[in-house]
Amino acid sequence: MLKSLREQVFEANMDLPRHGLVTFTWGNASGFDPASGLFVIKPSGVSYAELSVENLVVCDLDGAVVEGELNPSSDTPTHAALYRSWGERIGGVVHTHSSWAVSWAQAGRAIPCYGTTQADYFYGEVPCMRGLTEEEIEQAYELKTGEVIVEGFADLDPVAVPGALVRNHGPFSWGVDAAAAVYHAVVLEEVAKMAAHTEMISAEAAPAPRYLLDKHYLRKHGPHAYYGQASR
């Protein structure tokens, strides 16, 4: 079932330790199939050495297991919530505890867009979501985590801002597929590091002007993009 998607999601998960984004099992990637309304996700607590195309878990949009013998990632309800809201626009989700992104999430701050590295992929800052209430955490923690992200994007386009920080927790990112979500997870960690160092170097650092962000984002995205190889 969903063999090609399984292979994509397997590769995306294996890319997380390759990029230095996860320690032990502290991360997971999923990929969504809009035709069937199902997504493939990493099983919970399984080491990357044990991970295989076969032991990935298939879930429906309620987060219920449709295929697989292992428990899905404990973050499955979060992934499901994002696909329920944004499944027409995103096809992959990644969660990690990458070091610099977690540090911003723990500090409770959005990452300002200080330069073009961020602007090439994020149309502005990487937002930090509001903290969950005690009731939300006790009732349905992982589900509410996803809903709080969707709530935080009420005025944001998840395609233009492909990631967010969950307060006191860590980063989630997404994209057209699982590989794109991994790519954005790498970008998020890199810009998190550079933004912290930017503020260390100058307490007066200011975000890049809007016209610079426009230029960088739009030269990579949309009908007038000219970065890369259009014909490939």
Quick one: which segment of 8-16, 82-90, 156-164, 201-209 binds a copy of itself (CB under 8 A)? Answer: 201-209
d(C-alpha 18, C-alpha 56), whole Å:
19
CB hemisphere CA count around 228 (13 angstroms) = 12
Quick one: which segment of 10-18, 76-84, 147-155, 204-212 binds a copy of itself (CB under 8 A)? Answer: 204-212
Of positions 14, 18, 24, 64, contacts a copy of itself by CB under 8 A: 24
| 45 counts as binding a copy of itself under rule CB under 8 A | yes
| 116 counts as binding a copy of itself under rule CB under 8 A | yes
Determine whether 227 is an active site residue: yes
Tokens (6 digits) for 43: 């099983």
| 74 counts as binding a copy of itself under rule CB under 8 A | yes
Do 48 and 115 meet the contact criterion of CB atoms below 8 Å apart? no
| 109 counts as binding a copy of itself under rule CB under 8 A | yes
d(C-alpha 229, C-alpha 195), whole Å:
30
Do 103 and 65 meet the contact criterion of CB atoms below 8 Å apart? no
Q: Please, what sign has the CA dihedral across residues 7, 12, 13, 19?
A: positive
Quickly list H helices, 49-133: 76-86, 99-107, 116-119
Cα–Cα distances in angstroms (integers) from residue 67 to residues 3, 19, 39, 228, in the given order: 12, 29, 10, 39
Phi first, then psi: give them for residue 68, nearest 5 degrees.
130, 145
Of positions 18, 52, 108, 151, contacts a copy of itself by CB under 8 A: 108
Determine whether 120 is an active site residue: yes
| 20 counts as binding a copy of itself under rule CB under 8 A | no
Q: Which is nearer to a copy of itself, 138 or 151 (CB)?
A: 138
| 149 counts as binding a copy of itself under rule CB under 8 A | no
Least Å from the CB of residue 108 to a copy of itself:
7
Quick one: which segment of 38-46, 76-84, 87-95, 146-154 binds a copy of itself (CB under 8 A)? Answer: 38-46
| 52 counts as binding a copy of itself under rule CB under 8 A | no
Least Å from the CB of residue 133 to a copy of itself:
9
Nearest to 111 by CA among 194, 221, 185, 214: 194
Do 162 and 74 meet the contact criterion of CB atoms below 8 Å apart? no
- Site residues (vs a copy of itself, CB under 8 A): 23-24, 26, 43-46, 70-71, 74, 97, 99-100, 102-109, 114-117, 131-132, 134, 137-138, 141, 168-170, 183, 186, 190, 193-202, 205-206, 208-209, 211-212, 215, 219, 226-230
Active site amino acids:
120, 227
